[in-house]
Amino acid sequence: MNGTWMVITALVAFVVTAVSGVWLVPYLRKLKYGQTILDIGPSWHKKKQGTPTMGGIMFVLGITVAVAVGYFYMIGGSAELSPNHSSMTVRLLCGMGMALTFGLIGFFDDYIKVVRRQNLGLTARQKLFMQLATATVYIAVMHLWGGLSTIVDIPFWGQLNLGGFYYPFAILIIITGTVNAVNLTDGVDGLAASVTFVAAVAFMVIASMLRLWVMGLLATALAAGCIGFLVWNFHPAKVFMGDTGSLFLGGVLVALAFGMGLPIFLVPIGIIYIIEAASVMIQVAYFKATGGKRIFKMTPIHHHYEMSGYSETKIVALFSFITAVGSAFAIAAVARL
């Protein structure tokens, strides 16, 4: 397989994302699209007050352009296309449409926040309705034209046909287990982008193992886009991705997992996202059950580590390592399929 398309895709995603920050970051700062830091957060986060948000626009643009360029180079060159190339193309288009829609929902949320100068944005009901509609349309289109199967591969166990239960299960995985979980992970400089980079590399390896080159193209663009964004987002961050970026990243991860027919593999690869979301749910449930007691110092759990004395860079390194371990588990499981 000629890997030139992969190099081109990676370069385009990285360059467009990183270079767009040269004009976007000052522009957002000029518009005063800065993040408002909640009083209930760690006190030292107050120094981040006013840091531009909505920076996710950078990699939304970079990844989208890279996928378009890489795809047309792939089909126009000497790439060895897989027998199910048409189905994979449908899955790519559906996945990108879904991810961009999630990014748009995040953009609306960010825009309301920065205009009102407070961390409110869309109401929980509004956001859930739009996310539910997006996930439902994605699954419906994938079912009709993308060759979606109700049979799921469970790592080191085998296959399970969920039948009609697959569809509510898929929507739950998309909204709660991935998209909103990635959003919760975005709370420390460079964390969401670093963890997602590791996850993207895992999907690159899996796509190569299964010869799903179109999905490999998307994974390559995601990995390079995350690196391009880290140029601006690594501690101390010059810009935050906002919901615009985190919801889009979650959408791309969903597109990769479902596009490869491996939704369950989001569990080991996205283990950090799940831990982040679970920490919030456990904290809330325990707080209500005990009349105000807490298990963690603060959630999502990266704030617990912050308040326990971990630096932001150490948290990023630790969580990225855990993602790498989960990803290695997933890759080993794919090797046995």
Instruction: Indicate if the pLDDT at residue 3 is higher than 80.
Output: no
Per-domain residue ranges of the chain: 4-335
Residue keyed to tokens 């982008």: 193
End-to-end Cα separation, the chain, in angstroms: 22
Residue 158, H or E segment = strand 158-161
Residue 186 amino acid letter: D
pLDDT in tens, 4-46: 888 999 999 999 999 999 999 999 888 766 555 554 555 555 5
pLDDT in tens, 103-139: 999 999 998 877 666 556 688 899 999 999 999 999 9
Mean pLDDT of 189-198: 97
pLDDT in tens, 135-177: 999 999 999 887 788 999 999 998 999 999 999 999 999 999 9
pLDDT for 4 equals: 82
Percent of the chain at pLDDT > 70 equals 89
Mean pLDDT of 64-85: 77
Cβ atoms within 10 Å of 169's Cβ, excluding its own = 16
Evaluated on CA atoms 253, 256, 258, 262, the torsion sign reads: negative
What confidence category does residue 73 fall into, taking pLDDT thresholds of 50, 70 and 90? Answer: confident
DSSP 82-109: -TTHHHHHHHHHHHHHHHHHHHHHHHHH
